[in-house]
Amino acid sequence: MNLIQLASHGPVIPVIVIHRLEDAVPMAQALVDGGVRVLEITLRTPVALKCMAAITAAVPQAIVGAGTVRTVNDAKVAFDAGCRFAVSPGYTEAIGRACRDLGLPLLPGVATASEVMAANADGLNFLKFFPATAAGGIAMLKALHGPFPDVVFCPTGGITVQTAPQFLALPNVKVCGGSWLTPPDAVEAGDWKRITELAREASILFA
Ligand code: 3PG
């Protein structure tokens, strides 16, 4: 898969933290039912890898990627779990090389012009802008567009259903990331209907 294709499935990539393995498949199905297919499952819980494998097996429409990939080993285990892409909060050459070697498309996080240049130097020009709101938000994305007109961003961090359209209106933004599609209380209660509604609302966001 070419990484930029991730942006062609809809305007929002949910950033997901799963604490209970049994929630993984119904949560993924709820998101897919709402029209959201690209799922970033973060490597922040002990069950994350099992959740990725379970979703890949049971929800074939889902395009599962690993989030919070911080090390080369994270990239390897995510690949082994069947992930089709990786998202990292920052960028290192080592992670870039590991993902290239694995054939695992990488969406690396950047927050400064120097980080954009480091990722560009390794052939990456579709980048996560993280933490989007804290790192300057819309003003920073506009400023980066001048020197980097060929770079496309997926801003993530602090974005809401209300603010996403303003990000999506920028010429250098094709998709946003956010955790608002899977609120912890809805997951805790098994309220999959609410998650489908949030996904449906996100899937039709436009600038
Ligand atoms: C994260 O790292 O958890 C993501 O950037 C999501 O951030 P958000 O919870 O502000 O959407």
Catalytic-role residue among 128, 174, 188, 197: 128
Contact 156, 177 (CB under 8 A): yes
Q: Which atom of ligand 1 is nearest to the CA of 68?
A: 2
Q: What pLDDT does residue 152 have? A: 97
Q: What is the pTM of this model?
A: 0.96
Give distance in angstroms: CA of 179 to centre of ligand 1.
5
Cβ neighbours for 197, distance < 8 A, ≥ 6 positions apart? 34
Q: Is any ligand 1 atom within 6 A of the Cβ of residue 178? A: yes
Q: What pLDDT does residue 8 have? A: 87
Give distance in angstroms: CA of 129 to centre of ligand 1.
11
Regions of the chain with pLDDT less than 50: none
Cβ neighbours for 153, distance < 8 A, ≥ 6 positions apart? 126, 127, 128, 129, 141, 144, 172, 173, 174
Q: What pLDDT does residue 207 have? A: 52
Q: What pLDDT does residue 66 have? A: 98
Q: How do strand 152-155 and strand 176-178 relate by DSSP bridges?
A: unpaired
128 is catalytic: yes
Cβ neighbours for 110, distance < 8 A, ≥ 6 positions apart? 90, 91, 116, 118, 119, 127, 128, 129, 130
Q: Which atom of ligand 1 is nearest to the CA of 133?
A: 10
Give distance in angstroms: CA of 171 to centre of ligand 1.
22
Q: What pLDDT does residue 4 have? A: 81
What structural domains does the chain harbor?
A: 10-107+159-165+174-203 (3.20.20.70)
Give the residue whose CA is nearest to atom 9 of ligand 1. 179
